[in-house]
Amino acid sequence: PRAHELKSKAAAGLKASKDKDHPPPPPNHVNEPPSSDRKEGAIYQVGKPLGKGGFAICYDGKLIGSSKRYALKIVKAQMASKMEQKFQTELQIHSKMRHPNIVQFHRAFTFENCTYLVLELCSNGSLMDMVKRRKGLTEPEVRFYTVQISGAIKYMHAKGIIHRDLKMGNIFLDKYMNAKIGDFGLAALLLTGKDMQIMRRTTLCGTPNYIAPEILEKGKKGHDHMVDIWSLGIIVYAMLTSKPPFQSSTTDEIYRRARERDYEWPSPDATQKFYSLEAKDLVASMLQDADMRPDPDTIVSHPFFTSGYMPVPSDISSRLRESPPQ
């Protein structure tokens, strides 16, 4: 029966992982061992798969004896130790964050050779999936999300944390369609030679579209929190047009275009979509050289936010959540 359950669970949503780096499907119930603040331990009922990342798989999980639901992020223990530095950073930084637009970290434990992170559940997938499905958001919707993400960036930066991997695929949506920044795997590592290798490797297996050019400049030691503002500029452009501005078939070409700020706005003739001067100016301001980029407070006081309608949370939750996928 167990094998059967596992098979049907895999079939339910996730392609069976061919990748040996991913954890095997978890059992139907997962035991959190006793700890100082939870002496009896805890049991989670594992529900449907939510998604798969580089090394992790996430499942919907219900805490037995309560109605609380979480995202259970599962990583093979060997992977956690191979990726020790990345994983430790992720755990340490993420667990200290507390903000309405950052995925809340609840706990971490090990069970049957896997490490489990118990995270706030974001049941509406990632911003990337939503934006792709809707082929771009309206300017009022982009105002709403940009304010939320800027708030989270302001909070992280005030705590001395640089996220360094902000992208639409790392921003999740809760049941009310609020944006929540997740995945702190690359946050605030100092760029030593070793970190640089990790960064390049990670960049090679992920999308380079959101990486600020100064991160990749060889030999440059420090880089500051403004890399997150660059990424936000890419996110704002991508929320509006549904594509990142420097999209190209090769990574080198993306970097060249980013260095030269070689991007265009889709023409209204082709797309029937109109982008305001304010929106274009806001994006351009965030894609300047690091020392010229606006901080989060300056971003949200840009005319883009006062030049048109600013939705309230209930507008967003009813409009975006109920709109059927196209």
Q: Active-site residues: which are they? A: 165
CB of 55 to ligand ADP, least distance (A): 5
Rule CB under 6 A: say whether 14 interacts with ligand ADP.
no
CA 249, 254, 255, 257 dihedral sign is positive
Q: Which two tokens stand for residue 26?
A: 């978890």
- Give whichever of 48 and 220 is closer to ligand ADP, judged by the CB atom: 48
Rule CB under 6 A: say whether 182 interacts with ligand ADP.
yes
- Give whichever of 44 and 55 is closer to ligand ADP, judged by the CB atom: 55
CB of 165 to ligand ADP, least distance (A): 9
Residue list 44-63, contact with ligand ADP (CB under 6 A)? 50-56, 58
DSSP conformation class of 20: T
Among 46, 108, 119, 282, binds ligand ADP (CB under 6 A): 119
Number of residues that bind ligand ADP (CB under 6 A): 20
CB of 266 to ligand ADP, least distance (A): 27
Q: How far is CA 313 from CA 37, 141, 143, 163, in A?
A: 35, 10, 12, 25
Rule CB under 6 A: say whether 72 interacts with ligand ADP.
no
CB of 161 to ligand ADP, least distance (A): 17
CB of 94 to ligand ADP, least distance (A): 10
- Give whichever of 55 and 304 is closer to ligand ADP, judged by the CB atom: 55
* Residue in this structure with the two tokens 């700890």, named with its chain if needed: 35
Which range in 30-38, 116-124, 149-157, 220-228 contacts ligand ADP by CB under 6 A? 116-124
Are 167 and 114 a contacting pair, CB within 8 Å? no
Euclidean distance between CA atoms 241 and 223, whole angstroms: 29
Burial of 106 (0-12, 13-18, 19+ CB in 10 A): middle
Are 106 and 118 a contacting pair, CB within 8 Å? yes
CB of 185 to ligand ADP, least distance (A): 5
Residue list 204-243, contact with ligand ADP (CB under 6 A)? none
Backbone angles phi, psi at 65, to 5 degrees: 90, 5
Helix (H) / strand (E) containing 119: strand 114-120
Rule CB under 6 A: say whether 71 interacts with ligand ADP.
yes
Residue list 241-280, contact with ligand ADP (CB under 6 A)? none
Euclidean distance between CA atoms 190 and 209, whole angstroms: 21
Which range in 113-121, 214-222, 233-241, 288-296 contacts ligand ADP by CB under 6 A? 113-121
Q: Give 118's contacts (C-beta < 8 A, 6+ positions apart).
A: 32, 44, 61, 70, 71, 72, 105, 106, 107, 108, 109
Rule CB under 6 A: say whether 103 interacts with ligand ADP.
yes
Rule CB under 6 A: say whether 172 interacts with ligand ADP.
yes
- Which spans in the chain are helix H? 2-11, 77-82, 84-96, 127-133, 139-158, 193-205, 213-216, 226-241, 251-259, 268-271, 277-286, 296-300, 313-322
Among 185, 233, 244, 245, binds ligand ADP (CB under 6 A): 185
Residues that bind ligand ADP (CB under 6 A): 50-56, 58, 71, 73, 103, 119-122, 126, 172, 182-183, 185
